[in-house]
Structure 1
Amino acid sequence: MAEYFDTDHARDVAALQAGLAARTEWPTWLLIAAVYGGWVCTVWLLHRHLLSLAGATPLFVLLCTWHMSMQHELLHGHPTRLAWLNRLLGYPPLAIWFPYTLYRDTHLEHHRDEALTLPGLDPESNYVPAERWQQWPAWRRALWQARKRFVGRMLVGPPMSAAAVTATAWRALREGDRRYAPMWIAHGISVAALLFVLDVWAGVPWWYYLLAITWPALSIATIRSLYEHRAAPEPKARIVINEAGFVMRLLFLNNNYHLVHHDLPALPWYCLPRAWRLRREAYAHKCGHFVIRGGYGELLRRFAWRATDAVVHPFDAANEVHGAQAVQDENRIAA
């Protein structure tokens, strides 16, 4: 559900959506062609021995990171109104670790702003309840504390997320919950086929693609979510505006204007900067001035080795048990 400041704001947003780009979605179609075309071209160049594996690695990493950003755009209803077609466009598992369907379902659940950051309610929460924290061993606390730091998040974030998703899937299967079994089977077949083609046709060992390409891609993707939300009394004050530079905005498809995205989730990625500029001061006030003026470079300077905030959620409501799974860090997707 879109949120507007007033009728003038609603009219301005409608004008953005009525423009040629939004009506035809040509920027998103171009994005899809660039991501998949770039990936296929890189594979072809390897196959023809026109590019070394070392030279192809950074291209693969950037394309896989961009692909994850593209998947986020697709699950929000772009570039078509056909959910099945958008799903098909986002389905190829270039980044390997997380099925698109799982990402779509958990992320859409994350868009309940009243539950943002609350463990057990927000599947993308970066916090844990005090009771759970006290029960954890020292090594697990250390990992979570590392995830609150820029460098630590890039190092331990991907394996923690992959391990959590795998553990959740295994626990569900062991408990007889087979709802997601077809999804995991299809994902496994797709991943196996992709790795087979890379290994046999392009000479990219499967283990190399996993560890030297998709792992760094996930690490880069975790930068965006490092301080995307914070614990605050007002739901909208929990959502950041990050005034990132052009390269990072393009890589993350303007999702750095995160409050604008939460307020206008159906607005395509290429309209978000304009929507931010239309009501810059109003949005800054709405999020309690949770604005990162220096972009991701400022985050690196401030939080390279220092935690953004506490791991334990400060609100009493966050320390309640919500359903059978009290903390949904077990199935979080870091991207």
Structure 2
Amino acid sequence: MVKRTVDDFVGKRGLIDPQRLKALSAKSDVKGGVQMATHLGAICATGVLLWQTWGTYWAIPVFILHGVLLNFLYAAQHELSHNTVFQTRWLNEWFGRIVGFIELYPRDFDQIQHFAHHRHTQDWEMDGELARGPFTLGSYLLWMSGIVYWQTRIARILRFTRGTVVEPYIREKEHATVIFEGRVHFLLYCAIAVASVVFESWAAVIFWLAPMMLTKCVHQLQNSSEHLGLSHNPNTLENTRTLRTNAFMRWMAWNMQYHTAHHTFPSVPFHLLPELHKDIVEKWGREPYSMTYFGFQAQAIRRLMNGRTEMDYPMDQVWIADGLPDELPADTQHA
């Protein structure tokens, strides 16, 4: 069982009154239950509709929506790993394990990696979510496609199943936990595969794996834009981006578009992040770095064109943000 927690982590002290922060950190079984029920209910509804329309052209948009809903279910796992969805702790635990199984992202490992991400955001050596090389245009587009994402997730489960742990942010005493968890996941996935062969059923592929894997590119709009192109300084107000979008996307992503607020005070549950965002803006005196999904993508691709890589930009400066010129001044880039 993972004992690490970021519940008490504060990204910037003195920004919010302690009593106000305590009020904003109130968890709710009702609000968490409604959000979980509506998200899982939407997945069930699109699954039924996909079954009814399979073999027709109507199945294509339903397939895409179903897959996108499955992918954004990771937002639920993310909150469950923070133990902020439900006030009742065991509900966070078990829903987290179920969702982690669906997402091919074991809960214990996710908590360990995400702890490192919050404690060391944008630190190449310590951030568990920066375990990659600097982006080139090609590697970035490959990442956005979802191919590398799924290859990494599947390879990690197989590696844990073999008893191999290489992640530097996983402490030695946690190796047994992630290995056991990986083996449980592997055996359960094998059981589903065997059952599918025995019953000659494609249900697991049609209603789960195929839509989830083939629409990962939509979820990558969220994943790629939260930190890339911002400062690597250890300040959540400088190294984390807020995203401007519509109400449907905020519902589907569990308000994770308020990512600056979340990283600054991760004990605040998803349903109170809009209020926390307003409080931060009022106290700080300005909006955090924010962009739209497609505005971010357009600028990120431009920055990586013409043979440039992520390392061509200083790590202590912002190089993807609204208002920046298409071509940054020469002194902004490395020689």
Q: Same fold (TM over 0.5)?
A: yes
1:233-277 deviation per Cα after TM superposition (whole angstroms, max 9, x unaligned): 343311222233323222221112212111211111111111111
Distance in 2 (alpha carbons) for counterparts of 1:167 and 1:200: 23
1:204 corresponds to: 202
Structure 1: 5+ residue stretches without partners: 134-142, 317-335
Q: Does structure 1 residue 99 correspond to structure 2 residue 106?
A: yes
Q: Cα RMSD between the aligned structures?
A: 3.9
> 2: distance between equivalents of 1:107 and 1:88?
18
Q: Corresponding residue for 2:52?
A: 50
- Out of 172, 176, 182, the residue aligned to residue 184 of structure 1 is 182
| Counterpart-to-counterpart distance in 2, 1:88 and 1:302 | 40
Structure 2 equivalent of residue 109 of structure 1: 116
Contact between 2:10 and 2:264, CA under 8 Å: does it hold in 1?
A: yes
Gaps of 5+ in 2: 1-8, 167-171, 317-335
Alignment of structure 1 residues 248-267 onto 2, 5 Å: 248-267=249-268
How many aligned positions are there?
A: 290
Q: Which amino acid aligns with 1:52?
A: W
CA contact (8 A) 1:35 1:66 kept: no
Distance (whole Å) between structure 1 residues aligned to residue 18 and residue 165 of structure 2: 49
Give the structure-1-normalised TM-score: 0.69
Give the corresponding residue for 2:319.
none
- Secondary structure at 1:242 match in 2: strand
> Which residue is 2:17 aligned to?
9
Residue 310 of structure 2 aligns to a residue whose secondary structure is coil
Q: With structure 2 as the length reference, what TM-score do the two structures score?
A: 0.69
Query: Structure 1's 260 and 58: CA in aligned 2 closer, same or farther, altered over 3 A?
Result: same
User: Which of 286, 289, 292 pairs up with 2:290?
Assistant: 292
How far the C-alpha of 1:222 sits from its partner, in A, is 2.1
Residue 127 and residue 173 in structure 1: after superposition, are their counterparts in 2 closer, same or farther (change >3 A)? closer
Query: Which residue of 111, 126, 129 maps to 1:124?
Result: 129
State which of 75, 82, 86 in structure 2 corresponds to 1:76.
82
Structure 1 match to 2:323? none
Percent identity reads 18
Check if 1:85 corresponds to 2:82.
no
8 Å CA contact 1:95–1:217 kept in 2: the answer is no
Provide the residue aligned with 2:217 in structure 1.
219
Shift in Å, 1:314:
5.0
More off after superposition, 225-234 vs 237-246: 225-234
- Report the residue type matching 1:271 in the other structure: L
Residue 125 of structure 1, CA deviation:
1.6
Compare relative contact order (CA 8 Å, sep 6+) and give the higher one, 1 or 2: 1
**Structure showing the higher helix proportion among its residues:** 1
